[in-house]
Amino acid sequence: MGRHLHSCAFALLLLALPAVSGGAAPSPPPQAAAREHPLDQLAWLAGGVWTAEEPSDQGPPLVVHLVCDWSGTRNALLFHVTFLSQGRETPQYDGMYVWHPGKQKFVLWQVNRKGDVAEGELTVSGKEMDQTVRVSHLDRSAHFLRAHYTLIDNDAFRFKAQFRLSESAPWQEALDLVYKRQRGS
């Protein structure tokens, strides 16, 4: 009997919470339609391994691998970047893109292998995306990045990046790469 009383009290509490918090109890959707989410605009990035090569004057090119996959909740697009140089693969960045409902924007968080943290925003316009990022270093200094993505086709995109060492410094060219996807079998 005590267990039943606790179950009823818990159910009543769940029903009362929206009224106490000023909201109405949610009503079920009329039909189970597929949820549209702003993050779906980035779905093309998910799956496979994206690879780009940065030429080097000192030998073989630096190979960059980008892996993007959905989080378990599908409310974040997680990414991992590794560099392959002279046969050695080194983790470089881990991060995520999310839709921030309060800002009504895509935001990203990223941490590199040194522990520097990057926070930024991403705007999407069709096959073009622009990203601005502030990188906070362990010594409390910062630098700034911006990047432009152009979707070439379902398995290729161009990535152009620039950086500056302060908010008032001029932008300097950093990278201009084409990533190509290798899909898993």
DSSP character string of 133-153? EEEEPTTS-EEEEEEEEEEEE
Q: Is residue 33 part of a domain?
A: no
Q: Which pLDDT tens digit goes with each residue over 160-178?
A: 999 999 999 999 999 999 9
Q: Is residue 102 part of a domain?
A: yes
Q: Which pLDDT tens digit goes with each residue over 131-149?
A: 999 999 999 999 999 999 9
**For position 35, what pLDDT does the model report?**
65
Q: Is residue 6 part of a domain?
A: no
The enclosing domain of 83 has a CATH number of 2.40.128.20
Residue 90 corresponds to which tokens in the numbers above? 């080194």
Q: Is residue 27 part of a domain?
A: no
**For position 34, what pLDDT does the model report?**
61
**For position 17, what pLDDT does the model report?**
33
Q: Is residue 21 part of a domain?
A: no
Phi, psi angle pair for 60, to nearest 5°: -65, 155
Given pLDDT bands bounded at 50, 70 and 90, which one contains residue 56?
A: confident
Return mean pLDDT, the chain: 84
**Which residues have C-beta within 8 Å of that of residue 30, sequence separation ≥ 6?**
none
What's the domain count of the chain?
Answer: 1
- 88-98 average pLDDT score: 96
- 97-114 average pLDDT score: 96
Are 54 and 60 in contact, with CB atoms under 8 Å apart? no
